[in-house]
Amino acid sequence: IGTTGQGATDGIRFVQFYFGLPLAMVILGVTLVPFLHGAKVFTAYEYLERRFDARTRSLTAFLFLLSRGMSAGTILAAPAVVFSAVFGWPLTWSVALIGIPTVIYTMLGGVQAVTWADVKQMVLIVFALVSIVIVLLVNMPVAPDDALRIAGATGRMQVFDFSFNLTETYTFWSGVIGGTFLMLSYFGTDQSQVQRYLTARSVDEARSSLLMSAYWKIPLQALVLMVGILVFVYYQFQAPPLLYNPAHEAAVAAERGAEYQALESRFQETFDLREAAARRVPGAPDPQAQAAMDEFLAHEATVQGIRTEALALAEEVTGESSRDVNYIIPRFVLSELPLGLSGIFIAAVMAAAMSSIAAELNSLSTASVIDFYRRWMRPEGDDAHYLRVSKIATAFWGIFACFVATYAATLGSLIEVVNRFGSFFYGSILGVFLLAMLPRARGAGAFFGLLAGMGVVAAVTFGAPSVSFLWHNVIGAVTVVIVGLILGGRQPAEG
């Protein structure tokens, strides 16, 4: 949902975000995977107490719980957006309708029930995406190369940006450097991922799982982004709604109908001019085609300006930040696809989201019980007792995720939001695990280094908000390692 919307509004350059993934998988396969697999622990943070001390373990686990709880809420927002688009409900209703059954489902053992279906879900998702591409190309009034030309004129086909600009979110360097640090932390220290290779039968099996993740991720994300780009081009010839969020559209029409109708009238008039210019581009001699393209871009800028006015009006009426990006694809699917295909798309989103949320809640529950409850409150409980407590923890984190979901959906593209949340924590958490592999590091250095890393990242996030969130991963990790080594002294750590 978020990635296709990202493609429609910003183009394919988001794929640079994943350029660090293959390198991260190779590094993890050589370092953290054998390191943690041989530690014989239930959670990654359990090892940190063995290596450092209990406070370092608890602080790291606490930061994981915060980051993963916020991410679970963002994932929950995706199917909630679809339900909101289907039924025109307020997002909070949709979050409750999806969140409560998913929490119950997970408490009753949903994670085990869906694990076997991962491959089937992937096939369903790819089938839905390819079907959308085919429908778009068949119904597009221009040839595929002309469609890509129109998208390219707006900058949406620019894959690479080699500028070394810390304020530009998606560049080759932010992807290769910042993205590598983010992927190292996510796949190497996040319990939702680490639990997969902690339970693997061998190190080779764990490595194979990681490499497969890297192999499929980039082409799949490129396909998802391309769907969004083609939807953007399709809406150059088929009038889109002024507001993609149906609940906001209805609220504005009800309370400020005259103003909204005036905006719609201006929008339709400019859309007609933009469409006429776009239709003149294919097949025209180069000078005429360029003139038509220049006219198209001028009208496109006007269209986006009118849409910005509509979004501001919606925010004024509803009191909610009106970020339409997450509603673009659901609205397209419901209004433009044949009924059967739209049903398959919705089923794919729901299945994937519920599976992901269940896995997230499971990792949150595991870390809560193992790293906090069993460690500090009831170390001698039996398995049945811990199972009951884990269900309570699942319910707590499910409720937490529901609250986050209603907020996350207002922040912009969900795929970007989830990575912004993660990048606030991931660099510092990665730094602790890097210290764990260095003989000089000591418990005090790791603990205070982690505090320093989070403090510096917070200062950059709120004091220099223009710095791209991908660099937060680098800043956090480097700060933790430097402070940890300075405080660690020159003597090898014990244990």
* 302-338: pLDDT as tens digits: 999 999 999 999 999 988 776 688 889 989 998 888 8
Please check whether residues 274 and 219 belong to one and the same domain: no
| Residue 280, domain extent | 246-321
Number of folded domains that form the chain: 2
* 348-370: pLDDT as tens digits: 888 777 778 888 898 899 999 99
At which of 321, 355, 379 does a domain end? Answer: 321
In a domain, 332, yes or no: no
In a domain, 75, yes or no: yes
Q: What is the pLDDT of residue 114?
A: 46
Please check whether residues 89 and 134 belong to one and the same domain: yes
At which of 255, 290, 321 does a domain end? Answer: 321
In a domain, 328, yes or no: no
Q: How many CB atoms are located within 10 Å of the residue 341 CB?
A: 17
Please check whether residues 254 and 221 belong to one and the same domain: no
Q: Which residue has the tokens 């085609």?
A: 289
In a domain, 210, yes or no: yes
In a domain, 495, yes or no: no
Please check whether residues 115 and 53 belong to one and the same domain: yes
Q: Which residues contact 63 (CB under 8 A, 6 or more apart)?
A: 425, 428, 429, 450, 454
Q: What is the pLDDT of residue 494?
A: 46
Please check whether residues 49 and 147 belong to one and the same domain: yes
Please check whether residues 353 and 313 belong to one and the same domain: no
Is the overall model pTM greater than 0.75, yes or no? yes
Please check whether residues 108 and 178 belong to one and the same domain: yes
Please check whether residues 222 and 278 belong to one and the same domain: no
CATH of the domain at 348: 1.20.1730.10
What are the angstrom distances between the C-alpha of 177 and each of 3, 202, 205, 256? 21, 29, 27, 47
Please check whether residues 418 and 376 belong to one and the same domain: yes
In a domain, 136, yes or no: yes
> What whole-number distance in Å separates Cα of residue 306 and Cα of residue 374?
56
Q: Which residues contact 402 (CB under 8 A, 6 or more apart)?
A: 73, 76, 95, 96, 99, 100
Q: What is the DSSP letter of 12?
A: G
Please check whether residues 280 and 173 belong to one and the same domain: no
In a domain, 241, yes or no: no
Please check whether residues 256 and 110 belong to one and the same domain: no
At which of 321, 354, 373 does a domain end? Answer: 321
Please check whether residues 169 and 311 belong to one and the same domain: no
* 127-180: pLDDT as tens digits: 888 889 999 999 999 999 999 999 999 999 999 999 999 999 999 999 999 999
From first to last of its 495 residues, what are the pLDDT tens digits of the chain?
888 989 999 999 999 999 999 899 889 988 888 888 877 888 889 999 999 999 999 999 999 999 999 999 999 998 898 888 877 788 888 899 888 888 887 887 645 544 444 566 677 788 888 889 999 999 999 999 999 999 999 999 999 999 999 999 999 999 999 999 999 999 989 888 887 777 778 888 888 877 776 677 788 888 899 999 999 999 999 999 999 988 889 899 999 999 999 999 999 999 999 999 999 888 767 788 888 899 999 999 999 999 999 999 999 998 877 668 888 998 999 888 888 888 888 888 887 777 788 888 988 999 999 999 999 988 888 888 988 999 999 999 999 999 999 999 888 889 899 999 999 999 999 999 999 989 889 999 999 999 999 999 999 999 988 899 999 999 999 999 999 999 975 445 444
Q: At what angle do helices 54-87 and 414-436 cross, to 10 degrees?
A: 170
In a domain, 207, yes or no: yes
Stated length of the chain: 495
